[in-house]
Amino acid sequence: MALRETSIEINLPASLFLRDEPRPDGYQPITNKAWEWHLITKRKLPSDAFRYLWNIARRLDAAHRQFESWRASRARRTA
């Protein structure tokens, strides 16, 4: 954090900011937090690099949602 005469600058490390509410199994979605971090940080990644990382995050979150769906359907079948 830096205090200036007319502004305050706060640098948030991505590792602290990217944490979201964990799901019941402990997975923490990262897509929305990555987007928010990119919007508020002054040290932006190059556009291509951020798009690449953000797409990876979207795929991880989507894959986890599919896994949760599969796990729920499996639990219904065995119950």
Is residue 67 situated within a structural domain? Answer: yes
Q: Write out the two tokens for 38.
A: 């990119």
Is residue 22 situated within a structural domain? Answer: no
Q: Write out the two tokens for 79.
A: 């119950």
User: Which residue pairs from 47-55 have beta carbons closer than 8 angstroms and sit at least 24 positions apart in sequence?
Assistant: none
Is residue 20 situated within a structural domain? Answer: no
Is residue 21 situated within a structural domain? Answer: no
Is residue 9 situated within a structural domain? Answer: no
Give the domain range for residue 72: 43-79
Q: Give me the tens of pLDDT residue by residue for the chain, a chain 79 residues long.
A: 556 667 666 566 666 666 677 788 888 888 888 888 888 877 777 888 888 888 999 999 999 999 999 999 998 998 7
Is residue 76 situated within a structural domain? Answer: yes
Is residue 58 situated within a structural domain? Answer: yes
Give the span between the Cα atoms of 79 and 68, in whole angstroms.
Answer: 16
Domain count for the chain, please give it.
Answer: 1
pTM of the entire structure? 0.67
Give the span between the Cα atoms of 17 and 32, in whole angstroms.
Answer: 11
Is residue 2 situated within a structural domain? Answer: no
